[in-house]
Amino acid sequence: MKQKERAPGELNEIIEETASKYSNVHIVNTKSVFEANSANHIIGNELILEHVHPNLDGYAFMSDAFYEAMKKSQFIIPDSTKEMTFSKLKLYMPVTTVDSLAGIYKINNLKKSWPFSDAMSADSMRIVTQEEEMAYALSNKKSNWFGIMDTLYSFYIGGNNFKDARTVVEGLALEYPEDAAYLEKTGMLYGKLNDYEHAAFYLKKAFSQSPSSELAKTLFVIYLKMDKPSEAIPYIDYSVHTQGNYNLQNVKKFSEMVIKLKLYYSRDTTNIPILNEIGSKYLEMGNRDGAVLYAKKVLRRNPENKDALLLQQKVGTK
């Protein structure tokens, strides 16, 4: 699959002509995508850093263009319910403040020479914060990216800034996908931020590479918080078999009950008592989040439901 780059029109014509001769070669017209997302359809600094290299928005559009082309050619057939939208792609790009600043500093150095004349002045390049210091060191090759990210992660964790720490370690997890430690750290930080979907995604990948009882426990707890008992069962079983913790058999028993109750409810969504029963089973297994979830589901339909109000009272919420 060949990208159409910024080049003389004749070269693009040669690329298209050559590609047309081979059935397995597909053109991804990123130029047209960039033009469509540029003011007056003229590609400029909204998407390009200097003359050739895209900025973050440019790379986002480029990756989306390749993704859509692969879908169209049926190289991939993604599950539409789990597909990442373009807006989510931009939202979750794990780019740190240091990465962004380092990019600005590098481009500023480039624009100090011909044919550019709009580099930042010395006054606007004041280095004050720790992030700016790290970015400056990175842009001037006084430290490598891995070392800077390690320092930045410790800096954020020390300040209980879990959101930015997660961005750092998620970038490392994508850079080193075979390293289960980065996957686990990313998942744990998503968990601290109550983003259980992303937490489960990374922890599941970490578990597949380096299974452990602690990871299994974290995973089944997260899946139960998410009201996904079927996904929790394999990790409950793993914990039982590896730790001999047969107290977890009760958790498994209640999880299986919830699975059956959810099946019954799917056949009759007017059956409010089933929702209350699911909430009660979650409370019995110690899953407070699940109990709260189902009490709220019932009270949205019937604010005076006594069983749901009692369940809510038991978990200490209103």
Answer yes or no: is 148 within a domain. no
Pick from 187, 161, 45: which is nearest to 96 by CA? 161
Q: What is the pLDDT of residue 125?
A: 65
Which tokens sit at 150? Answer: 């390690």
Give the whole-angstrom CA distance, residue 61 versus residue 55: 10
pLDDT tens-digit profile of 61-85? 999 999 999 999 889 998 888 888 8
Q: Given a cut of 90, is residue 96 above it in pLDDT?
A: yes
Query: Of 25, 59, 93, which residue sits at a domain end?
Result: 93
Q: Given a cut of 80, is residue 292 above it in pLDDT?
A: yes
Answer yes or no: is 305 within a domain. yes
Answer yes or no: is 69 within a domain. yes
Q: What are 2's strand-pairing partners?
A: 27
Please report, for the domain that includes residue 246, its CATH number: 1.25.40
Q: What is the DSSP letter of 121?
A: P
Give the whole-angstrom CA distance, residue 289 versus residue 106: 47
Answer yes or no: is 279 within a domain. yes
Q: Given a cut of 60, is residue 121 above it in pLDDT?
A: no
Answer yes or no: is 70 within a domain. yes
Q: Which residues contact 120 (CB under 8 A, 6 or more apart)?
A: 108
Q: What is the pLDDT of residue 236?
A: 95
Q: What is the pLDDT of residue 92?
A: 85
Query: Of 65, 93, 121, which residue sits at a domain end?
Result: 93
Q: Given a cut of 70, is residue 120 above it in pLDDT?
A: no
Number of domains observed in the structure of the chain:
2
Q: What is the pLDDT of residue 248?
A: 87
Q: Given a cut of 80, is residue 114 above it in pLDDT?
A: no
Mean pLDDT of the chain: 90
Query: Of 69, 93, 117, which residue sits at a domain end?
Result: 93
What is the arithmetic mean of pLDDT over 247-267?
A: 94
Give the whole-angstrom CA distance, residue 30 versus residue 22: 20
Q: Domain limits at 76?
A: 1-93
Answer yes or no: is 10 within a domain. yes
Q: What is the pLDDT of residue 9?
A: 77
Which tokens sit at 242? Answer: 């590896």
Give the whole-angstrom CA distance, residue 133 versus residue 81: 42
For the chain, the maximum distance between any two Cα atoms, rounded to a whole number of angstroms, is 76
Q: At what angle do helices 288-301 and 213-225 cross, to 10 degrees?
A: 10
Which tokens sit at 135? Answer: 């970015």
Answer yes or no: is 184 within a domain. no
Answer yes or no: is 33 within a domain. yes
Give the whole-angstrom CA distance, residue 228 versus residue 219: 11
What is the arithmetic mean of pLDDT over 212-228?
A: 96
